[in-house]
Chains A and B, each alone.
Chain A
Amino acid sequence: MTDHPLPAAVETVRRVREDPHRLGHRAHGAEGPVQGAGHGETGPARKRIIVGYGFWIFLLSDIVMFACFFAAFAVQLGATAGGPGIKDLVEMPRVAWETAALLLSSYTCGLSFAATNARSKLWTQIFLLVTGLLGLLFVGLELLEFIGLAQRGITPQTSGFLSAFFGLVGLHGVHVTLAGMWLLTMMAQVQLKGFRPEIVHRLICFNLFWHALDIVWIGIFTIVYLMGATA
C-alpha cells in the first residue's frame, strides 16, 4: 500500500487503498488493460484478485447447492403425508428477530472490513465480535425454533415436506455455524499476526461468505416463511 506515491486528492488516496487495481472505478474497456488485473494482456492477476475471484466461484457453487434444497422444498411443499403443513410451522415474530439479527450482522461485518481497510485492529476485532454474537443469536433462535417444533412432534422423519423444510433451513444454519467457527479463527489470526496480506485476503473471503449467507437467508425468509405464512 505504501509504495504508491500519494496522489493529491484524499478521495483518490482512499480509492487506491481500497481498490488498488481500480476494478470498481472504471468502465469496462474504457481505458487500456489494467496492470495485474489478469485480463490477459498484462499477465497473471495479483494474489488479492485471484483469491477473491476464486472465492466468488466457490460462492456460486455453494449457492447451486442451496438451489437444490430450494428445489426440493418446492417439490415437497405439498407432500405432508397427513402431517403438518408450512402454515403450521411459521412463527413470524421469532423469524423476524432471526432476520433482524442476521441482517444487522451483515452490517457490522461490513463495518469490520471498513476498520480493516483503515488498519485498525481494535475496531476490526470489535465489529467481528459483534458480528459473531449476532450470528450466535441467529443460530440460537433457530435452534429454539427447531426444539419447539420437535416438542410438538414435528420432526424431519414425519414427512417428505418436513425433510425438505428442515433440510433447507438446517443447511443454512450449519453454514452460519461453520462461518462462526471461521470467524473465531480469523479473530485469532488478526490478533496474533496482524494485517498481513494473506490475512487480509482471508478477511475479504470471510466477508463475502457472511454476506452470501445473508442473501441466502433472504431467499429462505421470503420463500419458506413469508410465502408460507400467506399460503
Chain B
Amino acid sequence: MFGKLSWSAIPLDQPIPLITSIILILVIAGTLGLVTWKRWWPYLWNEWITSVDHKRIGIMYGILGVVMLIRGFADAIMMRTQQAVAIGGSQGYLEPGHYNQIFSAHGTIMIFFAAMPLVIGFMNFVVPLQLGVRDVAFPTMNSVSFWLTASGALLVNLSLFIGEFARTGWLPYPPLSEGTYSPGVGVDYYLWAVQISGIGTLMTGINFVTTVLKMRCPGMSYLRMPMFCWTSLGASLLIVAAFPVLTATLAMLSLDRVFGWHFFTADAGGNPMMFMNLIWAWGHPEVYILVLPAFGIFSEIFSTFSGKPLFGYRSMVAATLFICIVSMTVWLHHFFTMGSGPAVNTFFGISTSVIAVGTGVKIYNWIFTMYGGRVRMTVPMLWSLGFIFTFVIGGMTGVLLAVPPADFLVHNSMFLVAHFHNVIVGGVVFALFAGLDYWFPKAFGFRLHEGWGKASFWFAFLGFWVTFTPLYILGLEGMTRRLQHVNVEEWRPMLQLSVVGIVLLIVGAACQVIMLVVSIVQRDKLRDVSGDPWDGRSLEWATPSPAPFFNFAIMPNVEGEEAYWGIKVRAIESQRLSEEPEYHDIEMPVNSPVGFFTAAFASITGFALIWQIWWLAGLGFAAAIAGFVVFAWRDVHEFHVPAEEVARVERARRASREALLEQIAAEGATA
C-alpha cells in the first residue's frame, strides 16, 4: 500500500536531523498559524501565490533562494567544523553516513535551490523592465516554473524528516548511486527533486528566450539591449540546450535504479563513464547559466556607478555569445583522469583555456568602464570590486586545472573545492548580493542601509579568503575532498584557520540580516521617491519605485543605446518632461492558481515515486493532467486596466520626476 514507506523512515535515533526537523516544523506551523490568525490568506493567495506578475514571481524566487542559501550555509558550517575536529584519534560529531548526506545536500541545495532561484529571480524581476515591456512571453507558465522549483526544494527538505538524503555527492555518480550500492531512498529524493525543479528551469529558459527575442518595446533592437538582457538571453539559451540533457541522464539513472536497467551499472554492459559524460555535458553549461547573469549584474553596476556607458559594449555581447558556445565544448575537463588519451585531453584542455579569453575580455571591459569615470563607492560597487579581485584569482586557478598533467595531481582534492567556490562564491554569490542592493529599491520602494551593507561585504570578503586559502594549500598538500575524518595531524592548523573564516562569514550573514531589519525599520528615511535612486541608465529606472504591476503606462520608444539615459538627458537639457501622452486601457494577464496546483500534484507524484507508492504516483500525475485541461478550458485570459487608472499612476510618476528636474535645476543654479 505505501511502497517502501514505514514508520522507520523517521530518524528517531539521529538527534541532529530530528531536532532540526522539530524546529523547522514549529517554525512552519508558527508561520502558518500567524498567517491564519492575521487573516493574510486572501492577500497571500490573490497577490502572491496565484500571481503571474513577473516582478512578484521574481521576488518569490528570491525569497526561496535566500531561505535555501541559509540551509546550504548551515551544511557548510557543519562540514568545516567537523573537519577541524575529526583529526587523528577523534571522529568528530558527525558519523560518516550523516556527513556524506551533508556534503551531498550542501552542493545540491546551493546549486539547484539557492543559486538557480536567485539568478532566475533577478532575470524575472529585471528583464521585462529593462526591455520596456509589461510581462514575459508566457506569464502563467512563469508561475508554473516557480512553483515547480519550490516543489523540488520541498522534496529535498522533506528528506530531512522522512527517510534520508543521497550520500553520493551533488552529482550522483554511478555505480555508487545504483540500487546495488545505494539501496535507500536518498538518491531517489535527489533524482525526483532535481527532475521536478529541472522541468521548471527548462520552462523558464524557453520563456526568457522567447521574451528577449520576441517581446521588446519599440526601438529596442538587439544592440540597444542592456547587458543584463544579453547575458540573460545567453543563460536562457544554455538552459534550453543543457537542461534536457540533465532530464535525460537522471531519467536513465532512475530506470536503472527502479527497474534494474543497465545504462550506467558496472555489470551487464552498463557504462558508468557515459554518466560522467552526459551529466557534465549539462554540468559545465550550468556553471555559465549561473555566472552569465552574474556578469550582467556587474555590467549594469559598473556602468551606473562609474557614470559611464559600458566600455566595449559590442565586445561584451560577442564575449557572452562566445562563452555560450564554447561552454558546450569543455565538459571533459571534469574527468581528465578518465584516461581518454592525450589527444582528447589536449582538445578539452585547450578549449577550457580558450573560454577564459571571453571572460578576460569582460574583466578588462569592466576595468575600462571605471577608468575615467566618477566612481561612487556604494555597496553594490564594493561587491563588484571584490568580485573582480576574487574572480580573477579563481579564474587563474581554473586555467591551472585546465592543464591535464596539473589536473591529474590535484584532481578531486581540496584545491578543486577551493577553486570552484572561488568562482561561484566570488562570481555568482557576490553578484547576487550586489544585485540585491542595486534593485531592492525598485522592488520595495526603499534603499537598503548602507553601513550594514558595507559591513557585510567586508566580513564576507575577508571571510571568503580566510576560509578558502587554507583549502588551496591543503589541496596542494594532497588532501582529498569529502573527508569525514582526517588522518594527517599536520593539516590541523589550516583546517582550524578555515573555521575562523567560516566565523567571519557567519558575521557577514548576520550583518545582511541586520541590514534588512534596520532598512525595514528605517524605510521612511530610506524611501526612494524619484524611482531613480542610483542615477541609472536603463529602462527599469524610468518606472516609479516600486514599479506598478503594468510596469509602463505607455510603452517606451527607444531611440538609442542606454534607453533611459537618453530620455533623462533630454529632459534635463530642455528642463521639462516629454509631452503628456494620451492614455489607453491596458490588457494584463489574469492571475492563475495553475502553477500552485501543478506543483502540489508534482510534489505528491515525486514523493510517491521516491517511495514507490505507484497508485499515488498515478493519481498525482492524472490530477496534474486534469489541472492542465481545466486551465485550457478557461475563457478569461486578460483583464483591462482602465485608462483613468493608468493616467492616475502615470501622473504621480510624472510629478515626482518634475520635482527631480526642479531639484537638478536648483543645484545647477547654485553650482
Asked whether A49 and B270 contact (CB < 8 A) given A61-B206, A167-B252, the answer is no
A50 within 8 Å of B (CB atoms)? yes
Tell me whether B577 is interfacial, beta carbon within 8 Å.
no
Is B403 on the interface with A (CB-CB < 8 A)? no
Q: Once bound together, how far apart are the Cα atoms of A65 and B270, in whole Å?
A: 20
Does A44 contact B206, Cβ atoms closer than 8 Å?
A: no
Which one of A89-97, A112-120, A127-135, A157-165 contacts B?
A: A157-165
**A163 touching B214, Cβ below 8 Å:** no
Tell me if A57 counts as interface (CB < 8 A to partner B): yes
Residues of chain B lying within 8 A (CB to CB) of residue A68 = 244-245, 248-249, 278
B269 near A41 (CB under 8 angstroms)?
no
Residues of A within 8 A of B619 (CB): none
In this assembly, does B431 line the interface, its C-beta being within 8 Å of a C-beta of chain A? no
Q: Judge whether B221 is part of the interface by a CB distance below 8 angstroms.
A: yes
Q: Tell me, in angstroms, the Cα distance from A160 to B261 when the chains sit together.
A: 7
Contact of A159 among B219, B220, B269 (CB under 8 A): B269
Within 8 A of B (CB), among A1-38: 38
* Chain A nearest Cβ from B34, distance in angstroms: 39
Residue among B202, B214, B216, B256 with most chain A CB within 10 A:
B214
A147 at the interface (CB under 8 A from B): no
Task: Tell whether A202 is near chain B: CB-to-CB under 8 Å.
Answer: yes
A153 at the interface (CB under 8 A from B): no
Are the C-beta atoms of A41 and B263 separated by less than 8 Å? no
Question: A71 at interface (Cβ–Cβ under 8 A)?
Answer: yes
Q: Majority SS of interface residues in chain B?
A: helix
Interface residue B625 (Cβ < 8 Å from any Cβ of A):
yes
Q: Is B241 an interface residue (CB 8 A)?
A: yes
Q: B221 to chain A: which residues have CB within 8 Å?
A: 39-41
Q: How far is the CB of B245 from chain A (nearest CB, A)?
A: 5
Asked whether any CB of chain B lies closer than 8 Å to the CB of A207, the reply is no
Is B215 within 8 A of A163, CB to CB?
no
Main SS of chain A's interface residues? helix
Asked if A177 is at the interface of the complex by the 8 Å CB criterion, the answer is no
CB distance from B262 to the nearest CB of A (A): 4
B629 CB contacts on chain A under 8 angstroms:
185
Are A160 and B265 in touch, CB under 8 angstroms? yes
A43 in complex: contacting residue of B209, B241, B274, B555, CB < 8 Å: B555
On chain A, the residues within 8 Å of B224 by CB distance are: 40
Give chain B nearest CB distance to A156 CB in angstroms.
5
A64 & B244 in contact (Cβ 8 Å cutoff): yes
Complex alpha-carbon distance, A79 and B202, angstroms: 32
Q: B363-396, CB under 8 A of A: which get 1 and which 0?
A: 0000000000000000000000000000000000
Residue total for B at the interface (Cβ-Cβ under 8 A)? 51
Q: Output the nearest chain A residue to B222 by Cβ-Cβ distance.
A: A40
Indicate if the CB atoms of B269 and A80 lie closer than 8 Å: yes
Chain A CB within 8 A of B218 CB: yes
Closest CB-CB distance, A120 to chain B, in whole Å? 22
| Of the residues A40, A69, A76, contact of B271 by C-beta under 8 Å | A76
Chain B residues within an 8 Å CB radius of A167: 252, 255, 261, 263
Of B216, B245, B269, which is within 8 A of A65 by CB? B245
Which of B220, B244, B248, B259 touches A156 (beta carbons < 8 Å)?
B259
Q: Is the CB of A157 within 8 A of B271?
A: no
- Provided the pairs A54-B207, A64-B245, A157-B262 are in contact, do residues A163 and B255 lie with their beta carbons within 8 angstroms? yes
For residue A60, which residues in chain B have a CB less than 8 angstroms away from its CB?
A: 240-241
Give min CB distance, B281 to chain A, whole Å. Answer: 8
Interface residue? B488 (CB, 8 A):
no
Residues on A with beta carbons closer than 8 Å to the beta carbon of B205: 57, 61
Residue B521 at the A interface, CB < 8 A?
Answer: no
Contact A50 B215 (CB under 8 A): yes
Q: By the criterion CB–CB under 8 Å, are B133 and A160 in contact?
A: no
Does chain A have a CB within 8 A of B213?
A: yes
Interface residues of B in 131-173 (CB under 8 A from A): 133, 137-138
- B268-A159 in contact (CB<8A): yes
Within the complex, the shortest CB–CB distance from B258 to chain A, in Å, comes to 11
A64 near B241 (CB under 8 angstroms)?
yes
A198 vs B133: C-alpha distance in the bound complex, in angstroms?
21
User: Given that A43-B216, A64-B245, A65-B248 are known contacts, is A160 also in contact with B262, CB under 8 Å in the complex?
Assistant: yes
Cα distance A55–B89 in the bound complex, in angstroms: 60
Q: Which residues of chain A from 46 to 88 have any CB-CB distance to chain B below 8 Å in the complex?
A: 49-50, 53-54, 57-58, 60-62, 64-65, 68-69, 71-72, 75-76, 79-81
Tell whether B217 is near chain A: CB-to-CB under 8 Å: yes
Minimal beta-carbon separation of A201 from chain B (angstroms)? 11
- Let me know if A45 is at the binding interface, CB within 8 A: yes
The one of B214, B247, B252, B261 in contact with A49, judged by C-beta atoms closer than 8 angstroms, is: B214
A99 interfacial contact with B, CB 8 Å: no
Q: Please pick, from A64, A79, A157, the residue contacting B261 in the complex, using a CB distance under 8 A.
A: A157
CB-CB < 8 A to B219: which residues of A? 40-41
* Cα of A29 to Cα of B475 in the assembled complex, Å: 56
Q: When each residue 142-176 of chain A gets 1 if its CB lies under 8 Å from chain B and 0 otherwise, what string results?
A: 00000000000000111111111011000000000
A191 within 8 A of partner (CB): no
**What is the chain B residue whose CB lies nearest that of A164?**
B263
Are A72's CB and B252's CB within 8 A? yes
In addition to A50-B215, A53-B213, A189-B632, 6 A-B residue pairs with Cβ atoms within 8 Å of each other are A40-B224, A61-B202, A76-B263, A79-B269, A81-B269, A159-B269
8 nearest A-B residue pairs (beta carbon)? A160-B269, A79-B269, A68-B248, A38-B214, A65-B244, A81-B269, A40-B221, A163-B261
Residues of chain B touching chain A, judged by Cβ–Cβ distance below 8 Å, are 133, 137-138, 202, 205-207, 209-210, 213-222, 224, 240-245, 247-249, 252, 255-256, 259-263, 265, 267-271, 274, 278, 555, 625, 629, 632-633, 637
What would 11 A/B residue contacts be, using CB atoms closer than 8 Å? A38-B215, A39-B221, A40-B221, A41-B219, A49-B214, A50-B215, A53-B213, A65-B248, A68-B245, A80-B269, A167-B252
